[in-house]
Amino acid sequence: MLIVDALPWNGQYPGLDAQFKKGIFYKGHARDLPSRTPLWSYTVNPKTFSYWTSSTLLISLASLSFVAAKSSSPTQTPPNPQITKNPYGQLADGTRIDSYTLKNKNGMAARIITYGAILTELWVPDRQGQFADVVLGFENLEGYLGESPYFGATIGRVANRIANGKFTLDGKEYTLATNNGPNSLHGGNQGFDKVVWEAEPLEVANGSAVKFNYLSPDGEEGYPGNLNTTVVYTLTDDNELKIEYTAETDQATPVNLTNHSYWNLDGSANILDHELRLAADHYTPVDETLIPTGEIAPVAGTPMDFTRPQTIGSRIDQLQGDPGGYDHNYVLTDKKPSMKLAARVRGPQSGRVMEVRTTEPGVQFYSGNFLDGTITGKYGQVYQKHAAFCLETQHFPDAVNHPNFPSIILRPGATYQSMSVYKFLTD
């Protein structure tokens, strides 16, 4: 037997999770090691073997050397050395899905795939400088093709719910798929989270970026007009993940785009001890099917009040419903369409802090109520209720049916523009 403890890892290999071949009897997980520069530990049979990782690293123990290698499908590296493109899998019809890994000078890394323009990984340092993946997701494409609760996905044409799957625009009634009880949710049966996006890396001055484009045809999921949509992910050297959305149409159509990442800043079993502050003094109450009643109500004196930092679990038991928890749209206090603070979250165990800024008027705070232990995600983790939270920057739910809500109608000649920035700090 031979013990090897020699592979430094500084976050430059996101998703590094060994898929062992013959000869290995034990592996120690890098995230469990205390050093600032973690090491992968192996107890092995000292016979020649190798394994491939998603980061295309070949370990050959015959010579006890570590050699960078190509995967069985050639890796393509765009001109920016901070961007890596890799094959991620393929659909049943043979369509290839790629992943793009963005890195910054501080060791952070984000991975986004062309299926659903999904953020599958985001590696962020804690107060000790240790990196961890702070978003929920699956190990491979097959997970996202199954019953995914929108992990990390780009949501469109219209994020959130539309009552009874119907709306009227310019005198014409449109009918959508009802995929969430009586309502339409997150774009319908095949929203933007379930389509293949074209992608290309971009040159930016302060980090790395990739642009995703999708043309949604007229009539797709019942929506009018050809909608040309672009989403740009940028990982900056200021430890920010910036997501910019633009869209243009040839017919009037509702548009409301967001990202549906599930966050857990500590890698803990649940997020009930995370401290949350929302820059919102009002919210939109909902009925039993989570459709807004039309009221814009103050949060003061209710369990909805996060205008001062509160742990997510401190009053969650006061919320009625099945399964219970937060799943509400908050109306940001700052009504300007420019960038403003929407939320600040702190993971007490890791010291990671996430600040969310957006141009949107609202943010949907969701406390992972429908996670129930039936999903096994990355690193073998079973996702139980409240395993993560979402902060979906957005216009208000069912806005097409509420004239008192900010409009989500995009018309020909106009450009939909939205930006949200997730900045990471430590306490």
Q: What is the mean pLDDT of residues 390-397?
A: 98
pLDDT digits (tens, 9 = 90+) for 254-266: 999 999 999 999 9
Report the C-alpha gap between 312 and 271 in whole angstroms: 7
3-state secondary structure of 320: coil
Per-residue pLDDT at 51 exceeds 60: no
Report the C-alpha gap between 257 and 183 in whole angstroms: 18
Q: What is the DSSP letter of 95?
A: -
Q: Which amino acid is at 153?
A: A
Confidence band of 80 (pLDDT split at 50, 70, 90): low
pLDDT digits (tens, 9 = 90+) for 136-193: 999 999 999 998 999 999 999 999 999 999 999 999 999 999 999 999 999 999 999 9
Q: What is the DSSP letter of 400?
A: G
The pLDDT assigned to 309 comes to: 98
Write the CA distances from 414 to 247, 249, 418, integer angstroms: 9, 8, 13
Confidence band of 322 (pLDDT split at 50, 70, 90): confident
Pick from 20, 19, 233, 204: nearest CA to 120: 233
Report the chain's mean pLDDT, rounded to a whole number: 85
- Paired with 387 in beta bridges are none
Per-residue pLDDT at 315 exceeds 60: yes
Pick from 300, 425, 286: nearest CA to 356: 425
Pick from 148, 223, 236, 235: nearest CA to 193: 148
Active site annotation includes 139: no
- Indicate the pTM of the whole model: 0.82
Question: Active-site residue among 121, 240, 260, 328?
Answer: 260
Phi, psi at 403, each rounded to 5°: -60, -20
- The encoded tokens of residue 337 equal 């369409």
pLDDT digits (tens, 9 = 90+) for 207-263: 999 999 999 999 999 999 999 999 999 999 999 999 999 999 999 999 999 999 999
Question: Active-site residue among 186, 275, 392, 395?
Answer: 392
- Please say whether the beta carbons of 177 and 165 come within 8 A: yes
- The encoded tokens of residue 222 equal 């019942």
- The encoded tokens of residue 288 equal 């039993």
- For residue 157, is the peptide bond before it cis, meaning its omega torsion is within 30 degrees of 0? yes
Active site annotation includes 248: no
Report the C-alpha gap between 132 and 205 in whole angstroms: 26
Pick from 148, 136, 232: nearest CA to 191: 148
The pLDDT assigned to 156 comes to: 97
- Please say whether the beta carbons of 393 and 360 come within 8 A: yes
Q: What is the mean pLDDT of residues 300-316?
A: 98
Report the C-alpha gap between 264 and 261 in whole angstroms: 10
How far out from the chain centre does Cα 392 lie? 9
The pLDDT assigned to 40 comes to: 36
Geometric angle at alpha carbon 102, from 364 and 18, rounded to 5°: 95
Per-residue pLDDT at 3 exceeds 50: no
CA gyration radius for the chain?
22
The pLDDT assigned to 219 comes to: 97
Per the model's pLDDT, the better-predicted residue between 201 and 69 turns out to be 201
Q: What is the mean pLDDT of residues 82-107?
A: 97
